[in-house]
Amino acid sequence: MSEKVAVFIDGSNLYNGMRDNLANTRVNLQVLIRQLLGKRQLYRAYYYNAPLTDDYENDLREGQSRFFESLRRIPYVTVRLGRLHRRHDGTLVEKGIDVAIAVESLSLAYENAYDTAVIVSGDGDYVELVEALKRKGKHVECCMFKNQSAGVLLEYVDVFHPLDELDWEAILF
């Protein structure tokens, strides 16, 4: 029986890691997912992000919107959008992304939809999620750039895949 994998991508985390490590954020998500899977079978990939608000230039908002639309055309990829919220100090923060990843991955785990969860993020907030998925009998892998890690999440996942080691020449365009 082939191992079924669900991929949960924190889009902002991936974007920031690519910007900081590769100086390029133009990703072919289909190729990235294929490299993360190896020879395993994809159940579905979920991409989470928050649409830019009017605080951003129109070109950036339109580019992001086109990117989301291109992701929706990839077979077995689902786009889930959170929102940006302005704090009292004026900074914008994402809302709803971490919770959406947690709820969706746990719901699917309870439906036994996949064997392995691949979380593309280094966010230490996912420690409790990882522990809950493992208690449900799921394998949990984490993918992030080596310099994105606070280290905490790596102590809990079953396998760590450094994004630094992927074939970025094939992934970027």
Residue 14 half-sphere exposure, CB side, CA atoms within 13 Å? Answer: 24
Domain ranges of the chain: 4-171
User: Tokens for 152?
Assistant: 């905490």
What's residue 55's pLDDT? 85
What is the C-alpha separation between 100 and 103, in angstroms, rounded? Answer: 5
CATH superfamily assigned to domain 4-171: 5'-nuclease (3.40.50.1010)
Eight-state DSSP code of residue 131: H
Assessment of whether the complete model's pTM goes beyond 0.75: yes
From first to last of its 173 residues, the chain has per-residue pLDDT tens of: 689 999 999 999 999 999 999 999 999 999 999 999 999 999 999 999 999 998 899 999 999 999 999 999 999 999 999 999 999 998 999 999 999 999 999 999 999 999 999 999 988 899 999 999 999 999 999 999 998 866 789 999 999 999 999 999 999 99
What's residue 148's pLDDT? 80
| Residues 79, 72 contacting (CB under 8 angstroms) | yes
Region label for 151, one of left (φ > 0), alpha (ψ between -120 and 50) or beta (otherwise): left
Indicate the Cα dihedral angle 74, 125, 95, 89, nearest 10°: -140
| Residues 68, 81 contacting (CB under 8 angstroms) | yes
What is the C-alpha separation between 88 and 82, in angstroms, rounded? Answer: 19
| Residues 111, 133 contacting (CB under 8 angstroms) | no
